[in-house]
Amino acid sequence: MNQYTIKSFADLLVKSTQFKKLKTKEKKLLLLDRCNWYVSAIVRDNIKNDNPYGSYANLSSKILKKYLGDRNYKDIELCLKGLGIIIKNDKYSVSKFTKSVSLSKKAIRLGVDKSIVHSKKFNERLKKFSVYNHSQIIAQPVLNKLLNNTLKLSVVEEKFHYLQYILPSPKFIEEGFEMVAYYEEENQFKMDRYTAFYDSFYALNDITEPSALLNSSINYIPTIAPSGRIYHIIASMPKLIRESLRTKSNELIWEVDMCSAQPSIIFLEWLKYANKNELKNIEKEKKLCLKLLLEGGIYKYIQEHSTFFNDLGYSNLKESILSAINAKNQPTKNNKELSRLFPNVMDWINTIKKVDGYKKVSFIGQSQEANIFVEVYKKIPEEKFALLIHDCILVKKEDVLFVKQLLEDRLRELYKDVILPQHNLNKLFKESLVSISDESLDNNKRIRFDRDFSK
């Protein structure tokens, strides 16, 4: 069993009131394990959601009681607060969000580290819940399918692949007679996050037991959101780590995804709405929207036809457009600009926000995304390798066309009044290589360099 801790935390813990009350070694180790579990829950949430250390994580009392005990979890919180390790936000809303907690600046300064589970009692408790969690997963076929296919993955690339892109220049501080290197908090979190994913999956290279994945330091139980969207470990994995993966049979992994997925789905929903309600004087906009989504060119069109969006890089462009679609109904520059380009679409979107609240729009996009991709994922035969990541499906090369056809068929089924038989969907759904090819693997490049250098 693996957990996270704070560096030198054991030295801090011995000074706490809770520790000094305990008489036996086993009870003292149990306190250490429980505190580390609490820290781990915060760190895992930060890593999963790509929220830097210091960000608040929602931890429900139900989960805390489950793992730490009904009578113990508040003592653990008091202990960690007393040592200056956590900061608690007691604000909550029934059925909406729980109380939240974050690592303190002191904890972040000391640094996050890994730890084993020390006490026999807590180790047995974690094993029991691991078995329970596995039973809950296999009870839901789509989650069990994701778990089994995740276990088919293997890391084939070296750490250098991601380090060369994310490793910043270190800062130096003087400690005694030495200059010690350190990284700023944001960079340290990024390194910790990437390394956590890499190390956890590298450790699974020769393992196919579900318990090994469920017990890894970064794993979290997959969940199906009310929208139907599925959240699981591969969906949270950074792209650079995903590139380092192949199947355990050393087969390259490809993805089939939907171009401009969320805007495309919003366009499809608006077109369906416009046809159903027989809206007048919108034929030009209908033709434009249909053309752009069939060509997979929504983002490109917006960038080329707007001075506001023109200078944005792809990631910032995408973020700004999705913000205008999903954020609160306010006269922001991006909302106004999209309203100029697509007046009827944005009028429909902004009306939904006024009537049902702004979150309704993102719910429409995500629920229809799930209605397409989750349902197609369920149809892929169990013997085929496949993993779902929201708006794309990972497969082997031999299954790309098969999955692409399933997606096209599903879209035609859902939007039969918008997508007509003569419409070509080849550009809407595209395939691309995820895994690093043999010739691009850092290890193979080094071998070629050594061979050529020795000639």
Which two three-digit tokens encode residue 189?
Answer: 């979190």
Count CB neighbours of 183 within 10 A.
Answer: 17
pLDDT of 291 strictly over 90: yes
pLDDT of 243 strictly over 60: yes
Q: pLDDT-based confidence at 278, cuts 50/70/90?
A: confident
pLDDT of 454 strictly over 50: no
User: How far, in Å, CA of 36 to CA of 67, rounded?
Assistant: 12
Q: What's the pLDDT tens digit per position in 52-87?
A: 999 999 998 899 999 999 888 999 999 999 999 999
Of 129-133, 213-217, 315-319, 412-416, give the lowest mean pLDDT range. Answer: 213-217
Q: What's the pLDDT tens digit per position in 21-35?
A: 999 999 999 999 999
| Residues in contact with 54: Cβ distance below 8 Å, sequence separation at least 6, in sequence order | 102, 103, 105, 108, 185
Quote the mean pLDDT of the chain: 91
Phi, psi at residue 331, to the nearest 5°? -80, 55
3-state SS, residue 285: helix
Q: What's the pLDDT tens digit per position in 369-381?
A: 999 999 999 999 9
- Percent helix, strand, coil in the chain, to 5, is 55, 15, 30
Sheet of 86-89: strand order equals: 57-58, 100-103, 86-89
3-state SS, residue 242: helix
pLDDT number for residue 443: 66
Name which of 148, 130, 123 is nearest 30 in CA terms: 123
User: How far, in Å, CA of 190 to CA of 89, rounded?
Assistant: 24
| Best-predicted range by mean pLDDT (69-78, 178-187, 331-340, 400-409) | 400-409
Beta strand residue intervals within 24-104, DSSP E: 57-58, 86-89, 100-103
Q: 250 in the Ramachandran plot: left (φ > 0), alpha (ψ -120 to 50) or beta?
A: left
If you count DSSP H runs as helices and E runs as strands, how many of each does the chain have, helices first? 23, 15
Which two three-digit tokens encode residue 394?
Answer: 């990972």
The one-letter code for the residue type at 121 is K
Residue 233 · residue 387 · CB < 8 Å: no
Name which of 246, 268, 274 is nearest 395 in CA terms: 246
3-state SS, residue 10: helix
Name which of 268, 241, 196 is nearest 419 in CA terms: 268
pTM of structure: 0.88
Cα–Cα distance list, 424 to 273, 298, 358, 405 (Å): 22, 16, 33, 12
Residue 13 · residue 83 · CB < 8 Å: yes
Q: Is 49 exposed, middle or buried (0-12, 13-18, 19+ CB in 10 A)?
A: exposed
User: How far, in Å, CA of 361 to CA of 31, rounded?
Assistant: 45
Q: pLDDT-based confidence at 2, cuts 50/70/90?
A: confident
3-state SS, residue 123: helix
pLDDT number for residue 453: 41
Q: pLDDT-based confidence at 220, cuts 50/70/90?
A: confident
User: How far, in Å, CA of 50 to CA of 39, rounded?
Assistant: 16
DSSP-derived letter for residue 97 is B
The mean pLDDT value for 392-404 works out to 98
Residue 116 · residue 2 · CB < 8 Å: yes
Which of the pair, 454 or 73, is modelled with greater confidence? Answer: 73
User: How far, in Å, CA of 372 to CA of 201, rounded?
Assistant: 29
| Residues in contact with 301: Cβ distance below 8 Å, sequence separation at least 6, in sequence order | 292, 341
pLDDT number for residue 450: 45
Q: pLDDT-based confidence at 449, cuts 50/70/90?
A: very low
Count CB neighbours of 350 within 10 A.
Answer: 20
Q: What's the pLDDT tens digit per position in 84-114?
A: 999 998 776 655 667 899 999 999 999 999 9
Radius of gyration of the CA atoms of the chain, in A: 25
The mean pLDDT value for 38-44 works out to 96
The mean pLDDT value for 309-318 works out to 88
